[in-house]
Amino acid sequence: MPLKNVLTILQRGCFRLSKFCQKTVLPQSRMNKLGPWLFLLETVCLCYIGTNQIIPTLWTRFGSSLVVMNQVFTWFLGAEILMNWLCVRFVTSSFQPSLAQIQLLKQDESPEQSTNYMMSPVEENTLRQRPIAEKSQSSSKKYFTWSTCKSCKHVRPARCHHCNICKTCVLARDHHCFFSGNCVGYKNLRHFFVFLFYSMYATVYAFIHATAYYCVELWPHSSALEILPFVTFIRNVFGQSNYHTGVLILVWWGLGMFLVIGAFQFIDLLLEIPEGVTAYEFNSGIELEDSRTLMEKIRAIFGKYWLLNFLVPVHFIFPPIVDPVNWPTIAGIKRGPDEFL
Ligand SMILES: [Zn+2]
Ligand SMILES: [Zn+2]
């Protein structure tokens, strides 16, 4: 079986498992409040313990310049992760229809009931370009048409989905990110990708350092069972182990959790981008008839100079090169959600 198919099956299995956990173990609203704090606590603890304790202990024997290099690298990773996390949290892709869009849809549905709003020729021209008519006649009409959101009570274009947590409709909605407490859509998907890219790198880097530190410094002086967080907690409460070991074990387990969740999200994105689909579409088995090249799909997420995003957030200077309302390069869908389910 090709690697891509294995990854796809694994990814969809994890997606369904996370949905099941959200329903049974931790409700979405609670996870949305807890997630950002968990992320901030883990990041601050890692940067602090890493640069003050672990890096000097492990690297001093190889020279002070290597200590400084590792410390600077750690703070660079921390700054990139935090910058992009802030962008994922505060850059929103929510959709509010203009009067013209509401008017045009009413005309399409019932011309005799249309109101008297007058569109400018440019406005009408742009809106008329949205290929509702052709798309609604194809087999993909259920998915690839404008519809009315039952919660927001307004019209929304194709690929715009409602989020029950953010309580808004989001353009090209990918998924809701519980670690940032916001929806990932067409505007902030680039920040989510860069955030995951650096987070993955930082997690592996920190995991190797934390494991080496545990083996060199803590293992000879502590019990093997102390690697289990609840044992460490109980020993900490009864004063049988030091507080420092307890924090390190918790951070180590936190790293493992971020590594597993982040890896699946990152694999998901790497599979989605070449297909030009969102996480919802990918996990529902929807395939698009998309005429864009790979580079056009990348620029639709990252903007003109896509590599620049890995240094500084530039969404306001170089916005995504895509029309998230009309989707002129997409002719419809090859395979729909009904066929998958
Ligand atoms: Zn809505
Ligand atoms: Zn959301």
CA of 153 to the centre of ligand 1 (A): 7
CA of 159 to the centre of ligand 1 (A): 12
CA of 151 to the centre of ligand 2 (A): 14
Confidence of residue 223 (pLDDT cuts 50, 70, 90): low
Task: Quick: pLDDT tens for 43-87.
Answer: 888 888 888 888 998 899 898 899 999 999 999 999 999 999 999
* pLDDT for 192: 94
CA of 175 to the centre of ligand 2 (A): 7
* pLDDT for 89: 93
Confidence of residue 211 (pLDDT cuts 50, 70, 90): confident
**Strands, E assignment, 47-130:** none
Confidence of residue 132 (pLDDT cuts 50, 70, 90): very low
* pLDDT for 106: 62
Task: Quick: pLDDT tens for 155-186.
Answer: 888 889 999 999 999 999 999 998 899 999 98
Confidence of residue 198 (pLDDT cuts 50, 70, 90): very high
* pLDDT for 39: 86
CA of 257 to the centre of ligand 2 (A): 22
Confidence of residue 105 (pLDDT cuts 50, 70, 90): low
* pLDDT for 91: 92
CA atoms of 181 and 192, how far apart (whole Å): 12
> Which ligand is in closest contact with the Cα of 35?
2
List the structure tokens of 310: 């890995």
Domain ranges, ordered by start, for the chain: 3-95+175-340, 99-156
> Which ligand is in closest contact with the Cα of 184?
2
Q: Which residues surround ligand 1, an ion (CB under 5 A)?
A: 149, 151-152, 162, 169
More confident residue, 34 or 3: 34
* pLDDT for 29: 77
How confident is the prediction for the chain on average, in pLDDT? Answer: 79
DSSP string, 82-147: HHHHHHHHH---B----HHHHHHHHHHH-GGG---PPPPHHHHHHHHTS-HHHHHHSTTTTTSS-E
User: Is the pLDDT at 202 greater than 80, yes or no?
Assistant: yes
Region 304-325 average pLDDT: 89
Task: Quick: pLDDT tens for 258-288.
Answer: 888 888 888 888 888 888 888 888 887 888 8
CA of 321 to the centre of ligand 1 (A): 24
* pLDDT for 185: 92
* pLDDT for 128: 46
CA atoms of 127 and 270, how far apart (whole Å): 32
* pLDDT for 46: 82
CA of 17 to the centre of ligand 1 (A): 25
Confidence of residue 329 (pLDDT cuts 50, 70, 90): confident
User: Is the pLDDT at 328 greater than 50, yes or no?
Assistant: yes
CA atoms of 304 and 212, how far apart (whole Å): 41
> Which ligand is in closest contact with the Cα of 168?
1
User: Is the pLDDT at 131 greater than 60, yes or no?
Assistant: no
Name, in order, each residue with C-beta under 8 angstroms of 95's C-beta and a sequence gap of 6 or more: 156, 157, 160, 168, 169, 170, 171, 325
**Strands, E assignment, 155-257:** 155-156, 161-163, 168-170, 175-177, 182-184
Region 309-333 average pLDDT: 86
**Residue 139: closest CA among 341, 338, 340:** 338
CA of 176 to the centre of ligand 1 (A): 14
CA atoms of 84 and 191, how far apart (whole Å): 5
In angstroms, what is the C-alpha Rg of the chain?
A: 24
* pLDDT for 183: 94
> Which ligand is in closest contact with the Cα of 157?
1
**Residue 277: closest CA among 196, 187, 173, 184:** 173
CA of 145 to the centre of ligand 1 (A): 15
* pLDDT for 33: 85
